Amino acid sequence: MSDNTTEALREEMVAICRKMNSSGINQGTAGNLSVRAGDRFLITPSSLPYDLMQPEDIVEMDFDGTYVGRRPSSEWRFHRDILKMRSDMNVVLHCHSLYATTLACHHRTIPSFHYMTGVAGGTTIRCARYATFGTQALSDAALEALEGRKACLLGQHGQISLGKTMEAALWLAIEVETLSRMYVQALTLGEPPILSDDEMARVIGQMERMSYGQAPDAEGANDVARPRHG
């Protein structure tokens, strides 16, 4: 990967991290972000506030766990392992968004109470079992919860969202937080009804056709209505 490409990724990472905080899904130095960069990956450094972070502070890591530059995020293990196991994804975003973390503190999986649960790729957004932060045990738990999914909660910790691009991963993290807030509020009225697996299969198929959470397709490619000519 060229130096110019890597520099562009570093600059975008800083911008996305600041969007994490400005969107309200992250606070302080919590959370972290990684991006595939050829046969390596880039990851945010440990304990550096996003408003002070500069592109040169982003850490370059090999998949063997060695790195160049500042000390990487304490959660580098699950970033490395997810990127290694999920060739369909290029970005791992982790944050401690308030409502997702509220559910994670109760080890609550988000069911298909709302059709948008399907944005994570399945009928549920699973909650991983608890493990100490920064450990291989946490990485193993995250990989298990992410099987066939693009997002999960981490027991008594936070959430992880994946994407092909940084913008897609951020979009999904915000959606997971929005769904978490709706679910917490719905639970105040009792357990909400759950959409059937058959309906969720239709929803997920529709989302894939309409590229939910991805860059827009060519103009009109997914339209049912057709533009008027003449």
- 183-198: average pLDDT: 98
Strands (E) in the chain, as ranges, are 32-37, 40-43, 59-61, 67-68, 91-95, 127-128, 151-154, 158-163
Q: Is residue 31 part of a domain?
A: yes
- 142-162: average pLDDT: 98
- Predicted confidence (pLDDT) at residue 20 exceeds the cutoff of 50: yes
pLDDT grade for 221, boundaries at 50, 70 and 90: very low
Q: Is residue 39 part of a domain?
A: yes
Q: Is residue 226 part of a domain?
A: no
75 noted as active-site residue: yes
CA atoms within 13 Å, Cβ hemisphere of 70: 17
Write down the mean pLDDT value for the chain: 92
- 89-118: average pLDDT: 98
In total, how many domains does the chain have? Answer: 1
Residue 174: strand, helix, or coil: helix
The pLDDT value given to residue 206: 93
* Main-chain phi, psi angles of 53, to 5 degrees: -70, 140
Q: Is residue 220 part of a domain?
A: no
Q: Is residue 143 part of a domain?
A: yes
> Do residues 138 and 79 make contact, with C-beta atoms less than 8 angstroms apart?
no
Amino acid at site 57: D
- Predicted confidence (pLDDT) at residue 211 exceeds the cutoff of 80: no
Q: Is residue 32 part of a domain?
A: yes
- 150-169: average pLDDT: 98
Of 12, 60, 75, 191, catalytic: 75
Q: Is residue 230 part of a domain?
A: no
Secondary element (H or E) of residue 104: helix 98-105
> Do residues 103 and 153 make contact, with C-beta atoms less than 8 angstroms apart?
yes
Instruction: Give the burial string for 85-109 (b: 16+ CB within 10 Å, else e).
Output: ebeebbbbbbbbbbbbbebbeeebe
CA dihedral sign of residues 196, 198, 201, 205: negative
Spell out the residues 6+ positions from residue 137 whose beta carbon is closer than 8 angstroms to its own.
Answer: 131
Which tokens go with 31? 């959370």
- Distance (Å, whole) CA 186 – CA 226: 38
CATH code for the domain in which residue 149 is found: 3.40.225.10
Which tokens go with 56? 């040169």
- Predicted confidence (pLDDT) at residue 33 exceeds the cutoff of 70: yes
Residue 158: strand, helix, or coil: strand
Q: Containing domain of residue 85, as a range?
A: 3-210
Q: Is residue 227 part of a domain?
A: no
Please tell me the least confidently modeled range out of 22-36, 94-108, 136-150. Answer: 22-36
The pLDDT value given to residue 129: 98
* Main-chain phi, psi angles of 128, to 5 degrees: -70, 150
